[in-house]
Amino acid sequence: MPCTVITGAFWGDEGKGKIISYLALKDKPDICVRTGSVNAAHTVWYKGKRYALHMVPSTFIYEKCRLLIGAGANVHVQKFLEEVELTNVKDRIGVDRQASIIEEKHSIQDKTSAHLRGLGTTGWGVGPAIEERVRRTAKLAKDIPELQPYLTDVAGEVNEALENGKKIVLEGTQGFMLSLFHGTYPYVTGRDTSASAICSEAGVGPTKVDDVLIVFKAFITRVGAGPLPGEISKEEAIKRGWFEKAAGTGRDRRSAPFNFELAKKAVKVNGATQAAVTKLDILYPKCKGVRNYDELPEDAKKFINEIEKQTGIPVVLIGTGPDASDIIDRREHV
């Protein structure tokens, strides 16, 4: 740390929730700022319980961490309140006064627009809500009575904390290849998803960032329409153990092998300094539960080494199972 940006490399579903929850337990950050919106769920497994969180930051499992939602985020009020109750974080979560609001009309527009349906939207209403914000007619968090107890100046809190040497995590959502600017347009989300945009939404300048940790999954998945290089059939994905459903929507995830060219592009544009790789145990089942790098099978080590060689950055965290603690942490050795 002290200020680390977490970003996804591909089309989302890389396991950012797992990596962030591990950092919460291991590094004990003082503040975590979640960016993005309700259309991305981060999955956290902790003490045998599964959480699929659309609004609450994944560091909630560390009870001393201040949880924030940045000014650039879009808040679904009902989902936010539900998750605050679920995770019991009412006394330590805040929403920036200028975060915009997703209303029911936005969801209806999302679900009924033929154009949006063709792009594979989640139907939460994020795109229409962003449109309204750009037109300067959106409601903001400060306009919503239910959010009054949570209102704060996120940029102010975070920058003051950084000045005082506190540890900060900026939690990106979705994946880099869904970026409105850098992704597979028009099959993208309604915002930029790069590390730069995560900083912007949280109100943190680029000179304040110490590390950009990019999260890869050992294979690639995406939901909805759009290109997926090397895509395999659902039947083949099931056979390989790669078939998944999206944490937030329950939609089938399409699958493809790890793509080194996409990985290199993601590292370059995000300015990544470190990488995490999740679900290595799915690609190499003998890795399951391993927490020491030396105990990995040779083929798994070769895969990790190839990622490092081609991207030019170290793989510092390796996920070997679903629980937050199923991690090989190499940060002291690379």
Active site residue 326: no
In angstroms, the CA 209 to CA 2 distance is 8
Phi then psi for residue 318, to 5 deg, are -130, 120
238 sits in the region (left: phi over 0; alpha: psi -120 to 50; else beta) called alpha
Q: How far lies 118's CA from each of 115, 181, 226, in Å? A: 5, 19, 10
Helix axes 154-163, 195-202, angle to 10 degrees: 100
- Residue 290 host element (H or E): none
Q: How far lies 251's CA from each of 94, 122, 132, 217, 322, in Å? A: 30, 9, 27, 18, 20
**Cβ-based neighbour number of residue 207 at 10 Å:** 6
Q: Which of 13, 96, 192, 281 is catalytic?
A: 13
In angstroms, the CA 308 to CA 74 distance is 35
Active site residue 13: yes
In angstroms, the CA 287 to CA 282 distance is 8
- At 318, the amino acid letter reads I
Three-state secondary-structure class, residue 69: strand
CB neighbour class for 261 (10 Å; exposed up to 12, middle 13-18, buried from 19):
exposed
Residue 178 and residue 188 in contact, taking contact as beta carbons nearer than 8 Å? yes
Three-state secondary-structure class, residue 248: coil
Q: Which of 42, 54, 76, 106 is catalytic?
A: 42
Residues designated as active site? 13, 42
